[in-house]
Copies of this chain bind each other. A is one copy, B any other.
Amino acid sequence: MGGGATGGHALEPSERTALRRKKERGRSDWETVCAVLDEGLVCHVGFHDGTTPYVVPMAYARVDDTLYLHGAPANRTLRALADGAEACVTVTLLDGLVLARSAFHHSMNYRSVMLLGTAERVVDEAEQLAASRALLDHMAPGRSTDARLPSPSELRSTLIVRIPITEGSAKVRTGGPIDDDEDLSLPVWAGVVPLRTVADPPLSDEGLPDGVGVPDYAARYRRAAGERG
């Protein structure tokens, strides 16, 4: 788990991340940022290699005001980031479909965080281990006390980078459709279809030793705001 949601600072919306439109959706307070980052499982990492923009899905974890990404040392995205390419990391949680009477006012309820920054390669072994634990517990809280932690040789075969959670913005849309007054009498259903991510019963791997049961975090996996400590 990535540290508490308190004690942090608000994200500083810089000129390049300040919301230009729909300012009422801006919500860059620290609690919102942490809640989104801690609930999400996949971030989308953007960088530019000099000619082409790339957007790549990756796992991640937050520890206090630091975001960690990891992967193979040959991973192109991580190498670009470790080499100093500026990164944009976006996490989006889709909470619902907003069906308005008019096509024009259809929307989605969502919470998203966009971070800008430059990554640094994590070379300290203690921080590598802490990041590895955080990445496990981000997937399933408690997993780091069960799984075999990385060996020194596995750590050498992993590229971990750190991105500061300092510059960026959060956006949140909630609530129902907002139709124009003249459409309110149309015989068209309008409302919200709430969406969420659920887990189905876990599929145990073959060949588990006798007596190895399914841990609670897998048997009753939940991913919802406020439930991850």
Contact = CB atoms under 8 A, between A and B. Distances in A.
A218 interface: yes
A52 interface: yes
Contacts of A116: 52
Contacts of A66: none
Interface residues of A, number: 97
Copies of this subunit: 2
Contact of A199 (B114, B147, B151, B195): B195
A54 B184 contact: no
A177 B189 contact: no
Contact of A53 (B88, B108, B140): B88
A177 B101 CA distance: 46
Contacts of A135: 103, 106
A41 B94 contact: yes
Interface string A43-67: 0111110011111110100000000
Interface stretch (A1-9, A23-31, A119-127, A203-211): A203-211
B110 A57 contact: yes
A190 B190 CA distance: 44
Interface of A: 16, 20-21, 41-42, 44-48, 51-57, 59, 72, 74-76, 86-90, 92, 94, 97, 99-104, 106, 108, 110, 112, 114, 116, 132-133, 135-136, 139-140, 143-144, 146-151, 154, 157-158, 176-177, 179, 183-209, 211-215, 218, 221, 223
Given A190-B208, A195-B198, 18 more contacts: A41-B97, A41-B108, A42-B94, A42-B108, A44-B55, A48-B48, A48-B53, A99-B143, A103-B154, A104-B158, A147-B188, A148-B183, A188-B212, A191-B214, A192-B202, A194-B201, A197-B197, A198-B198
